[in-house]
Structure 1
C-alpha cells in the first residue's frame, strides 16, 4: 500500500485516518482529562485516608499515655503510699502490711487499666524498697529505677512525662514530690513499663496492606517500635523520620525508596509522645489499581486507534479499488490504449463513473483515429512538399557548375563532377521512401561536399567525424543534412578566398543524437544570428519553410518538439548549427 502519490501527495487512506482521529480526538482528550482527574481524586482520597488513619491511631496512643499519667498522678496522692513512705516508722506491723497490700492493689489497677501496660511499680526511696506487680516487695530499689532516674535528669523539663527506653524496654515514671529535671531525689517514684508487643500488635492492625507496616519512632531518644522486623525498612524509615525531625517537618506524606521498592510513607508527630507515628505502604499496593486502570486506558487507546485504522482501511479499500482501477484505465488511455474497462461488481456510484468513462473512451477513440489519420496525411504531404523544394535549388547550382567547368575545358573535373552528380541524383531518386539510414544520409552529404569542393576549387575543406556504430541504422528524413552544409558554403564561406573550413561532428548523448555543422566564416553578425534564432522559434502555420527552417520543421515533425535546430557562434568564429534528433535508447 502506497501512502504517497506520484506527486508526493497523501493518498485517501491517511486522510481517512486523520479525519477519524480528528473526530475522535476531542472525545479522547475529554476521556483522558476525566481519567487524570479521577486518578488525582483517588490519589488524594487515599492519601487523606492514610493521614486520617495515622492521626486516629496517634490520638489513641496520646489518650492512652494521658490516661496512664493521670493514674500515676492519682496513685501518687494515695494515703496508703504516702503513709508507708513518710510514716513507716510510726506504723504498726499490721498497718504496714495493710498499706503494702493497698499499694499493690493500686498498682494492679494501673496495670489492668490499659492493654499497653506490662507492669507497674512503686519505688520507695526513703525505705530503699520496690513494690511491683511482677514481684513481691524487695529490700532494695529495682535496677530500672536507676535507668529512669538518669534519663529524667538528662531531659529538659517540658511539663510532660516522656517515654524512656532502657534495654529494649519502655517506661513512664512519676516522682513525688514532682520537680523539673529531677534535680533532687524524690521520696518515691511510680513507674509503668509499656508492653512493646501490644504496641507492635496495634501497629500491625494499622497496616492492612501486604508488605505494609507502621512504626512509632522517637528521633530524640532514638528508640522505635515497628510492626515488622525487616531491617532494611527499619533502617531506611528511621533515617527518613530523623531527617524530617531535623528539618522541622511534623507531618506529611511522601514517596520513599526502600530497597528496590517505592513506599508511600505517612507520618505525624506528637509532642505528647515525643514521637512520630508513621505508616509505610508499597506504592503498587496502594495505587496498583490506578496504575492498572491507566494501563487499561492506554490499551483502550491503542485498540481504538487500531479499530480506526482498520475501519479506515476497509472504507479505503471500498473506494480505492475501483478508483485505482479507474486510474489504471486513464493511464492506458494516456499510453494510447483506448479500451473499455469492465464495470465493477459493487453496484455503487462507481458503476456510473465506469459506464461514462467507457462511453468517453469510445468517443475519444473515434475522434483520435480521425485526427491522427488527418495529421499523418498532412505530415506526409508537407514532407513531400518540403522535400521537393530542395531538388530544383540544387539542380540550378549544378548546371552553373557544369557551365563554368566547360568554359575552362577542365574535363577531369567535369568527369568527377558528373560522377558525383550522378550519385547525388541517384540517392534522391532511387527510392520513394521518405526516410533513409543515417549512414546513407552522411555518405550523401560527403558526396555533396565533394561536388562543392570542385565548385570552390578546393578553397574550402569539409571534414566529417566518424559516425558512431549505434547510430548508423537510425532512420532519418531524406536530405536533412545537405541543406545545412549548403548554407555553410553559401552564407559563411562563399567569399572566402582561402582556408575555408567546415567541420561536421556526430555525437550520441543519452536519448539524443547531436550533429553539428560549424564553419570558420567571417560574415556572421550578431544581428543575423539573433534574427535566425527568432525565425527558428516562430513555427506558426504561415511561415515559409526554406533552408534551415525547412530542415528544422522536418526534424520536429519526425522526432518531436524536443528535436530541431539551434544556432550559435562556433569556436572557429563562424556559425555553428546543431541538429538534435531525439530518439529512444537502443
Structure 2
C-alpha cells in the first residue's frame, strides 16, 4: 500500500502545482498589462508636467508679475483655463496644480474645498523634499481628506519658487483594478508599498471578502497565503511599478482555481491516514508484547550495573518474558543481599575511623584553660572565673555533642565564639574575631568542628607578635561551579601567614610531621571532609600578601549538605538555594 498511497499523494501535489503555475502565468500576464498601462499613464503625466513647466509661456511669466497685479490675475486665469482643459485628457490625474509660497492654482476632478485644503497642508512639504537639480519621482503621500487617504504626487520646478505638479489618487487606480478582478469569488486586488504596507482600499469595493493585511512581498511569481479569518488558502500575484513606489497585487481563492481537485486530494489523504492508523495500531501491539518487555529488561540491567539493586521487572502474559523477568528478579535480590552485607561492614569501619579522628580534637587545650582558671582564682578575680567557667562549659558541652553526624553552621559559629572568648582571657584587648556570613547560610548543616580548628591554628601559629592586635575574619557565601552549588567559607587573619614549606605540603596533600600536634586538627578536618563528601569538598590554603596574613578557603557541596538535613532543615536550605 505504501507505493500506492505515495503515488496518490505525489500525483495530487503535482497536479495542484501545475494548476497553480498555469493560473498564475495567465493572471500574471494580465496583471503585467495593467501595470504597464498604469506606468505609461504616469509617464504621460510626467511628459505633460514637463511641457507645462518648460514650454508654457504663461507658467514661465507668472512669477515675473507682482502678486495681485492685473497681469498676474490675467495670467493666472489663462493658466487655470488650461488646467481645466487638460485635466480631462489625462485620465489618471485627479488634481493638477501650480504652487508658490503666496498662491496655489489648481484644477481637480474631486471636491474643490477638500482638495484645496490638501494642497495647503502638504504642498510646501512636498516641494521641500524636492532636491535642486534632481529628476522628480512619483512620491507616495497620505492625507485624511483624500478619498482612500493615500495618493501619488509629483512636482517639477518651473522657475525659482514656482512648481507645477499633479496628484493621482491610489483609490482611483485601485478602482480600475477592481473592475477587472473584484468579481464574486474569482478574486480581489490591492496596492502595497514595496515594503509590504497596504495602501488605500478600493472605493468601489470597500469591504473585500478576503482581508488583506500588511505582508512581506516576495520576489516569486506567486505565493500562497492562508487567511486566518476563514482558514482558506489564496494565491497572491504581484507586480511592482517601475515608475512609483508601489506593488499591485491580486488574490485568487484556491477553491476557485482547483475546483474539484481538493476532493481527490482529500481521498488520498484519507487513504494514507487509514493506512498509517493501521500501521500505528500494529506497532503499538508489537511494542506492548515485545518491545516494552525488552526495554524493561535492558533498563533493569543498566540500573543493576549502576548499583541500583531495588529494580524489579514487571511480567506480562508472554511465557518467555515471564521466565526472563522472574530469573532477573531473583538474581537482583541475591546481589542486593550480598552488597548490603558488604556495605554495612564498610559503614561500620568508616564510622569507627571518623570517631577516632574526632576524638583527637577533643582534649586540645584542656591544660591552658585550667591554668587560666587557676590564675584568676589565685588573684581572687571571681567574675573572670565565672565567665571563664561558663565559656569553658559551653565549649566542652559542644565537644560532647559532636557524636552527631552534622550540626548547623550557626552552632559551629557559637562554638568558635566560646573558644575566642576563652582565648581573650589569655590575650586581653589583643584578640578580635568578626563574622560576615548571611543569616540564610547559618541554617546550613556541616560536619562538627569543620571551622574551629582553623581558627585555633590561626591563633597558635599566626598570633606571633603579642604586642599588636590580632584579627580573625570569617566570610561565607554561595558559589556556582559547573551548574553545582557550593558553600564557600573563608577564614582570614592578619598574622604571619603560612611558611612556604607548610603551605606547599597543605595544598599538595602532603603529610606534616606528626610532632606538630598543633596542626593535627587541620589534617583531621581535611580527612573528615574527604570521608564525608567523597572527595567533593575542597580546602585551599594561601597567604593574603607577601608580608603575611593567612587565608583558608573551605568549599562544601551544598547539594550534599541539603540531603543530610532534608528532614529538619529543608525549608531553610531551599531558601539558601534561591
* Structures share fold, TM-score greater than 0.5: no
Scaled to the shorter chain, the TM-score interval is 0.3 to 0.5
TM, length-normalised to structure 1: 0.42
Bigger Rg over Cα: 1
